[in-house]
Amino acid sequence: MSKTSKYLLMIGIYLFLSSLFLIGIECGLRAFGYGVDLDHLFLQTANGKYLYLNKNISRRYFTQSQATNGNVEFFRKKKQKNTFRIFVLGESAAMGFPYPNNISFQRMLKYQLQKTNPDKDIEIINLALTAINSYTFYDFAQELVHFEPDAIFIYGGHNEYYGALGVGSNNTLGSHPTFIRWAIRLRQLRLTQWLDSLKSHLSPQKEFSDNLMKYVVKEQVIPYKSKLFQQGLEQFQNNMKLVLNLFKKHQIPVFFSTVGVNLKDLKPFKSISSDEHSADEYYQLAQEQLQAQDSIAAYTSFSRARDLDALRFRASKEINEIIRELAKDDDNIYLVNTEEEFNRKSPFGIPGRELLLEHVHPTIEGHRVIANCFLEVLRQNQSCFSNKRLQIGTSEDLYNFPVLEFDSLAGEYACLQLRKGFPFYEKDLSTITPKTEVEKIAANYVRQKNWYQSMDQLYQYALNSKNEKLCLDILRVRITDNPYDLTFLGQGGEFAEIRKEYPLAIFFYTRSFRLYPTVQTAQNLVAIHLRLDQPDLALPYIEYILRNGNPKFNGLKELCHKIIQHKQELNWQSNDSIRQAIRSIYLQMGNQDAADLYN
C-alpha cells in the first residue's frame, strides 16, 4: 500500500470514528432527555388526535435567549373529508403583534369562514413568528406539504434584513443560502443545543433592557441600493422561489400578499446623506406636499423617504415588486394586493396611523382590510380547490368578529411599551394607569404574556358582574381559538340561548354534536329548532334521542311530522285553519315562541 493510500485510509478511519463519536453523543443526549424537540414543526396532544405548533420551533433560527413563541392553534392529526385547511406564513405583522392572540387577519378569516360554512371544519393555522423571515418560510414549507393543506396564505417581507439569519441581523451566518439552510438543520441536533448552551454559560449575557428589535440588529445603516441592500432582496427572492416551487410541485395553491407600510405617520428611523435628498428631507417634502393638497406627489415622496431609510425595519418598494413578479410568473400563485388596498382605504391614499400602529403592524381595522383582501381573492379563485367550495360572505361580515375591549387595551399598552424603546425612543407618551378591572387584566397580560390566564380572569369578571354579552363574546373568542373544546362550545350555546341569539346557539351546539354527540346536546338542538319553527331540522336529533333509549320523544316526533305536513299545505294555499292547527300543536308542545308566529 502506497503512502498516499495509507494517508487516505487513516483520514477515512479518523472521520468514521469521529462521526461515530458525535453520533454517540447525540444519541446519549437524546436518551437522557437533554434539550428540546426541534425535529418536528408540530407536536401532538396527549390523546394523539390534534397537532399544534412546536413552541420551541423558533430555536432553529435564534439563540435560546432571543427565541420567540407563536400561537398554539389545534388542528386534526387525521384530516377529515369536510375539512378545509389553510396554513398562514408570516412575521409579527401576520401574527397580530402587539395585540393578544385574538387579533389577526387569520383569526378574522377563520371566524368568518367557519360561520359561513357550518358544515365544514375550517382550519386556518397561523404559523407566524416574531422576527423571522423567508428562511423560516422555506424551512416550514418543507414540512407543511406533508400535512395536506388546501392552500397557503403568505403575508411577509419586512424582516429580510434584521429577521433571524437575515443579512443585517446579529445572528446572521453569512450570505450563502445553502450554508444557512444546513445550519438550520444542524440546530435541530441536541449536540448543537448543548454547545449553544455551553457558549451562553461561558460568554457574558446581554441584559434585554430594551425590546427585541434592538438586539437583532447588527447593521444599523444599510444604504439604499448598497451591496447589503441588494443581498437582502436576493435573499427574499431566492427563498420565496424555493417556497413557491415546492408548493407548486405538491399542487398546493398559494395566496401571496403584498405588505402594507406606514408611510405618512412614521418619520424615517435613520436618515443618511446621499447624492440626492436624504430620507428626512423627502419626508419633510412629503408633508409640505400633503399640506398643499398634492397627495400624488406626497405619496411619491413618502415612499422615497421609506426606501432611503437606512434602518431597514420596513419593506422597501422592491419587496412588493418581487412579490408581484413572482405571482405573475406562476398560475399556482394568487396575488393578494394588500398594499394597493391599504392605499385605497387610507386618507389621501397614503397609509398611516389609521391602518398601522407604528411602522408595519396593522391596527384592528388594518387586519380587517387584510382579511378582506384574502377573502376577495379566495372568492375569485375557488376553482383552484378542485371539488371544494366555500361560502365567503361579505366584507361587512368581518365586523361581526368579536373584538374585546381587552384586545384593544392590551394592544395599546404593548404598543406604548414598544415605542418607548429602540428604534422609536418616542417621548411624551402617556403612562399606563389601569383603573377598571378590564384595564388591569390587559396591563397584566402585557407584563406576563399569558393569554389563557387573562381570558380566564376576564371570563370570571364577566360572570361576577353578570355581563352576559361579555361572557358570550369571550366564549366566541375561545371557540375561535380552539374549536374542538366541548366545554367552550357548550357554554357558548347556553349564553347564546340566554341572549336569544338562537342561530349562534345552533352553530355552537351543532359543532359540539358533530365532535361528540350526546342526548343532552341533541335535546338542546331540538328545543331551539322548534322554537324557530324548524321541525324538519329538529327531526334528525329526535331520531338520535330515540335511538339512544328515550321513547318519550315518539310523541314529539309525531307532532313534528304533523307540523311539516301542515306547512306543506300552507305552501299551496293560505288558510287560517291550517295556521291555527300549527299554532295549536306548538302550544301543545309548550312552545309559545313558535306558536306566536302563526297568530
Return all residues near 148 (Cβ < 8 A) that are at least 6 apart: 79, 85
DSSP annotation of 267 = -
Burial environment of residue 360 by CB neighbours within 10 A (0 to 12, 13 to 18, 19 or more)? buried
Instruction: Measure CA of the first residue to CA of the last residue in the chain; give whole Å.
Output: 108
Task: Check residue 137 and give left, alpha or beta (phi > 0: left; psi -120 to 50: alpha).
Answer: alpha
Contact between residue 253 and residue 385 where contact means Cβ atoms under 8 Å apart: yes
DSSP annotation of 502 = H
CATH topology of domain 42-270+312-401: Rossmann fold (3.40.50)
Q: Where do the domains of the chain lie?
A: 42-270+312-401, 272-308, 517-599
DSSP notation for 107-176:
HHHHHHHHHH-TTSEEEEEE---TT--HHHHHHHHHHHGGG--SEEEEE--S-TTTSTT-TTBTT---S-
The rounded distance, in Å, linking the Cα atoms of 177 and 240 is: 12
Task: Check residue 293 and give left, alpha or beta (phi > 0: left; psi -120 to 50: alpha).
Answer: left
Contact between residue 233 and residue 134 where contact means Cβ atoms under 8 Å apart: no
Contact between residue 279 and residue 268 where contact means Cβ atoms under 8 Å apart: yes
Residue-by-residue pLDDT tens, the chain, 599 positions: 676 766 666 776 666 666 676 677 767 767 777 778 889 999 999 999 999 999 999 999 887 767 788 899 999 999 999 999 999 999 999 999 999 999 999 999 999 999 999 999 999 999 999 999 999 999 999 999 999 999 999 999 999 999 999 999 887 776 677 888 888 888 887 767 777 777 766 765 555 545 678 778 888 999 999 999 999 999 999 999 999 999 999 999 999 999 999 999 999 999 998 767 899 999 999 999 999 999 999 999 999 999 999 999 999 999 999 999 999 978 899 999 999 999 999 999 999 999 999 999 999 999 999 999 999 999 999 888 877 889 998 888 999 999 999 999 999 999 998 998 888 888 765 677 899 999 999 999 999 999 999 999 999 999 999 999 999 999 999 999 999 999 999 999 999 999 999 999 999 999 999 999 999 999 999 999 999 999 999 999 999 999 998 888 999 999 999 999 999 988 877 788 999 999 999 999 999 999 999 98
Q: Which residue, chain included where needed, has cell 405548533? A: 53
> Taking the model in full, what pTM does it have?
0.92
Contact between residue 346 and residue 264 where contact means Cβ atoms under 8 Å apart: yes
**Bond from prior residue into 503 cis (ω within 30 degrees of 0):** no
Three-state SS for 506-546 is HHHHHHHHHHCCCHHHHHHHHHHHHHCCCHHHHHHHHHHHH
